[in-house]
Structure 1
């Protein structure tokens, strides 16, 4: 029994620490500019969507069946779209007209990046708790299930690390804070 507990704990730790791999990728360039940020954030989003379709949807289908798995998956996507539409938010590099004179100060952009990074980090922290619970519980029940969940979550956590590290690094210039 203790070895099962330890194995579950190690798998959960492995999945969670995969975020640090993303952080290392995120701080690869010395001075990340808007193009690098756009690329890394787009890449991160693409990988997360791919993992959702390839791994998480498949696990849902295995767990609760084809119809309910798809319904739950696409209901989640619909909920995320509704939240995006209904909750007001600003984009960091949002386009706007220049009818009024104003400056695009680096300080203002860096402040937006820091604020966005904080919200992403909080969201990921909240999001990672059930991931850890699922990995741990899955590994306790069946080691093969635990390994599959840990691998899927580890792959998913790498782009999460990028999504947090790049804006923090761009805003602060500190690899320690981004890591």
Structure 2
């Protein structure tokens, strides 16, 4: 029981940080000029590229190698599966939800924003599982302060990283025509999977642990598909200094620093 409580507390913090990031929609105006919209889209792309590398693919390779496997196999296999999943979803969404074919009020399409929510939500699932497992291990080693400190550090690191991710989801949603409240709720709910799967993984730790490299790389493939197929094409224009490019560089830089500095 203690394992579940600790896992819920750790992943609850990461979810609250996603919610705080999503709340950025209440600070910015609903109508923005095209250059600002491109910065937000570029920022989301940069955040997702950095998260795919440092939060997902590198940990997947490390975990697979630590388990005695060949690191690149689950990283590459999961990456391909994640990309294929988003390709299929991209093809099905306009049929299942015709309204997604409508263009948003700005440069952000509704379909792009829907895929963005899917990709970030998928990315948050293995992160929540990693935090849940770390607290479960700490609870199983009563008196081991080092294990507990490591679990807290992991939750803090992922939580801080979740702040720009929450903003990266909600701000493009705002620009695609959603109300600030709806954009906030979607951005916040992209993180609710962390406490849900953080607790579930404690209940099935033995079965899930070997699959973590595949789950992490699956999420990376999904995120990279959205970046390449949806976000980058929408921010690209034949201009000398593209504000979307500057946003992408800034988002990548911020997320890289957070991932490396916070472990």
TMscore range, shorter length = 0.5 to 0.7
Partner of 1:69: 71
Q: What is the TM-score when the length of structure 2 is the normalising length?
A: 0.48
Matched, 1:35 2:35: yes
| 2:175 aligned partner | 170
Residues 83-115 of structure 1, C-alpha deviation per residue, up to 9 Å, x if partnerless? 6777559xxxxxxxxxxxxxxxxx743397344
Distance 1:159 1:132, change over 3 A: same
Q: Distance in 1 between matches of 2:176 and 2:58?
A: 37
Partners of 2:83 and 2:23 in 1: CA distance: 30
Q: What is the Cα deviation at residue 13 of structure 1? A: 0.8
Note closer, same or farther for the CA distance 1:70–1:22 as it changes in structure 2 (3 Å cut): farther
Q: Report the alpha carbon displacement of residue 158 of structure 1 after superposing the two structures with TM.
A: 2.8
SS in 2 for 1:68: coil
Are the structure 2 counterparts of residues 49 and 172 from structure 1 closer, same or farther at C-alpha, using a change threshold of 3 Å?
A: closer
Counterpart of 2:132? 136
Structure 1 pair 163/12, CA: closer, same or farther in 2 (3 Å)? same
Measured in 2, the distance between the counterparts of 1:85 and 1:36 equals 28
Tell which deviates more after alignment, 167-176 or 10-19.
167-176
Distance 1:124 1:71, change over 3 A: same
Of 158, 162, 166 in structure 2, the residue corresponding to residue 153 of structure 1 is 158
Query: Structure 1 pair 125/60, CA: closer, same or farther in 2 (3 Å)?
Result: closer
2:123 and 2:58 mapped to 1: Cα distance? Answer: 20
Corresponding residue for residue 105 of structure 2: 110
SS of alignment partner, residue 12 of structure 2: helix
Q: Could you tell me how far 1:60 is from its partner in structure 2?
A: 3.0
Q: After superposition, give the CA deviation of every residue in 1:33-92 in whole Å (9 maximum; x if it has no partner).
A: 332232222222222322343344443344221773344334444455556777559xxx
Q: CA 1:44 to 1:109, structure 2 compared with 1: closer, same or farther past 3 Å?
A: closer
Unaligned residue ranges in structure 1 (runs of 5+) = 90-106
Residues 1:76 and 1:151: Cα distance change in structure 2 (over 3 Å): farther
Query: What is the rounded CA distance, in whole Å, between the counterparts of 1:52 and 1:151 in structure 2?
Result: 19
Question: Does structure 2 conserve the Cα–Cα contact (< 8 Å) formed by 1:15 and 1:154?
Answer: yes
Contact 2:11 2:128 in 1 (8 A): yes
1:9 Cα offset (Å): 1.2
Number of equivalent positions: 162
**1:18 shift after superposition:** 1.9
Q: Please report the TM-score for the alignment, with normalisation by the length of structure 1.
A: 0.64
Distance 1:126 1:147, change over 3 A: same
